Amino acid sequence: MLEIKARDGLGRLGKLRINNKTIETPTIMPVLHPNPEKQTIPIDKIKKLTDVIITNSYIIYSNPRLKNTAEEKGIHKLIGFDKIIVTDSGSFQLSLYGSIDVDPLEIVQFQDRIGVDVGTILDIPTAPYVDREKAERDLEETLRRSKSAIELKEKNNYKMLLNGTIQGSTYMDLRRKSAEVMGKLNFDIYPIGAVVPLMENYHYKTVVDIILTSKEYLPTNKPIHLFGCGHPMLFALSVLLGCDLFDSAAYALYAKDDRYLTEHGTYHLTDLKDLSNFPCNCPICNEYSPRELFNMDKRNREQLLAEHNLYVTFEEINRIKESIKEGSLWELVELRCRSHPKLLEAYRQALKYIEFIEKFDPITKKSAFFYSGYESMFRPEVIRHKKRIHRIKFDKIYLSTVSRDVNKPYSENLNNLPSDVDILIKDDVFGLIPLNIDTIYPLSQNEIPELYDIEREHNKKFVEEFINKYKDKIMDIKTYNYYTSYYNSKENKNKVNKDVLRIDRMLQYQYGFKILDEGIIKNIVVKRSKNTGRIRNVLVIKDENEKEVLFTLRSHDNLLIPAKEGAKLLHKKIPFPKYRVVVDKSVQEFAKKGKSVYAKFVIDCDEELRPYEEVLVVNEEDELMGYGTTILNGRELMEFNYGVAVDMRGGVD
Ligand code: GUN
Ligand code: ZN
């Protein structure tokens, strides 16, 4: 029921189907009191902001009047909300009072009976840092309840979806076990539980460990809900780490305390009362001055503050969605993490999991890579380049440096002479940038400020290791000058076609294999644009007066996008299963016509694929059916069974 439409980091912009209603994720569910008289903001105003709310089934269950109405008319009538209603189970009350008066299966049955869209098991939220025996015992009980809840759901064919909460306190091996066991139980949504006390105490770093441990061992195709996270300051980082759903009681709880939320922290109304305007443009902040609100009676003030708090909460969600679309979520996170040192610490903790995160991070983005501090050195775009540079089979290497005033791409702004030597430029962030591939994202699509000396030390080890690995191929300046002067002489000038050499290196870097062999190289024609002078197309000469396009260089990232002949060439040169998505027989005819490949029909693939790579769609006999862009990575291609997997460019008949 989850389909990924766009992504960045582990973050995803998704379409989520719940009981025939579709919502866009990431999103936030405002927490409503089930008793309309106790709601801070009138339901009509909530309706305008959201398609999904969350309330508490245990409060309904424990109040005879609410229970009666819910059982007679259903929860949607009780709340006065006809879109998606999610309910919690009383677990939170359990964490507050130690025990509650309802049977774990009875509350699941009750949620289904009153027509809830997504219900929750009665999990045990174990507090942080309790002793291990308690954490283990609680988890065993939560897992027992989970199994019987799923059995109940399947036996009775519930229309209601079910939340299966991940517990395990602050023991990462228990969180892992929880994720592994729950992951096999076919819950519809996986909330991450018992993080509220950690967030209240600014232990964001531990929350990061919990989120990433859970993500690593949960199925990739299910939505993740971060239970109890309602402060907009925490959304960007949590989405980057793969959380899709949030709930907010914070908007109302903070308002009760005269606290004013912003996307980077909280103000008390007394600290704002002397400003002439609020630092916000929502309808409330436009209409009232801080002083007016300060002098207002408690009830009205609380409602208006809650409305503002909810506005900024949704505003931040919208900003996050936009940044996922344009591929700048990392930049937004790096900005947000400057709001509080504990958040920066949490971001740094997340970067320790970069090998895992990198597998999900798109290989290309619409917006440039911005360096915003030392943390940026550890981003997936950088880590990936430093691995993929070894995909190129270098023959002769010359290492060089350029001064800061030369603009990227260097290959367009340096006069390097013709030769068959690969020139690699030392780079403070990306380590080494081969001139022959330097137009590919993110090697020239980046902005890096002048760095501190200590930051410039960072890649020393990488460069040393590179030199060590390639020591037989690296030439000194004398040998390099000898080569260039040799190729620069009149009679030898045409011996190397620099453009073909460049395409050869770009293809190796993008696909990991040598695509242009000696046979085809002499028939390759590289076309440059008359306007920009940049390489646009790679063609192959078929016969005297016929050429066919193999690849087009996409302008914003300079990736080599195959045409049909290019796809055939890749298929011939790249060994199975690399760069392959294998589809079931039943959809072969669709694939051959270039129709989208749905995840359900993927039966095998290259497990190392990253999102947005150009892939070959084949059948089990490795016959080429078509080619396109994969939305999913290798692991997701196998785990998703809903939505589009490969956006096709064309079919091959
Ligand atoms: N709300 C906040 N934390 C939790 C939790 O751990 N479990 C449930 N069910 N609800 C919560
Ligand atoms: Zn406002």
The residue assigned the tokens 């954490």 is 135
- Examine the pLDDT at 489 and tell me if it is beyond 90: no
Q: Which residues surround ligand 1 with Cβ inside 6 Å?
A: 88-89, 91-92, 120, 123, 125, 165, 193-194, 196, 227-228
Given a cut of 90, whether residue 239 has pLDDT beyond it is yes
The model's pLDDT over 140-192, given as tens digits with 9 standing for 90+, comes to: 999 999 999 999 999 999 999 999 999 999 999 999 999 999 999 999 999 99
- How many angstroms separate the Cα of 329 from the Cα of each of 139, 335, 352, 421, 632? 34, 10, 18, 38, 18
Q: Which CATH architecture has domain 496-566?
A: Roll (3.10)
Span 318-330, mean pLDDT? 98
Instruction: Give me the active site residues, please.
Output: 88
Domains 363-487 and 496-566 share a fold: no
Picking from 618, 617, 496, 512, the residue whose alpha carbon sits closest to that of residue 560 is 512
| Average pLDDT over every residue of 374-395 | 98
Q: Is 103 annotated as a binding residue?
A: no
Residue 38 neighbours by CB under 8 Å, 6+ apart: none
Q: Tell whether domain 575-653 is in CATH 2.30.130.10.
A: yes
CA dist list (Å): 18 to 83, 223, 260: 10, 11, 33
Closest residue by CA, ligand 1 atom 7: 193
Would you state the pLDDT for residue 543?
87
Q: How much is the average pLDDT of 449-460?
A: 97
How far CA 383 is from CA of 238, 351, 408, 441, in Å, comes to 21, 11, 20, 13
Protein residue closest via CA to atom 5 of ligand 1:
193
Return the domain boundaries, the chain.
363-487, 496-566, 575-653
Task: In whole angstroms, give the CA distance from residue 203 to residue 404.
Answer: 40
Kindly give the distance from the C-alpha atom of residue 503 to the centroid of ligand 2, in angstroms, as a whole number. 52
Q: Which residues surround ligand 2, an ion (CB under 5 A)?
A: 280, 282, 285, 308
Fold entry, domain 363-487:
3.90.1020
Does 231 have pLDDT greater than 90? yes
φ, ψ for residue 351 (rounded to 5)? Answer: -70, -15
Kindly state the tokens that stand for 458: 């960072």
Alpha carbon of 15 to ligand 2 centroid (Å): 28
More confident site: 492 or 68: 68
- Taking CA 427 as the corner, what is the angle to CA 504 and CA 383, rounded to the nearest 5 degrees? 75
Contact 100, 93 (CB under 8 A): yes
- Cα 46 to middle of ligand 2, angstroms: 15
Do the Cβ atoms of 29 and 50 come closer than 8 Å? Answer: yes
User: Which ligand places an atom closest to the C-alpha of 165?
Assistant: 1
pLDDT of residue 495: 82
Task: Write down the pTM of the prediction.
Answer: 0.98
Range with the poorest average pLDDT among 93-97, 274-278, 308-312, 376-380: 93-97
Residues 19-28 have pLDDT tens digits of: 999 999 999 9
Mutate to test the pocket of ligand 1, among 88, 124, 170 (most ligand atoms within 8 A of CB): 88
**pLDDT score for 418:** 80
Write out the DSSP string of 114-140.
TT-SEEE-----PPTT--HHHHHHHHH
Ligand lying nearest the CA atom of residue 58:
1
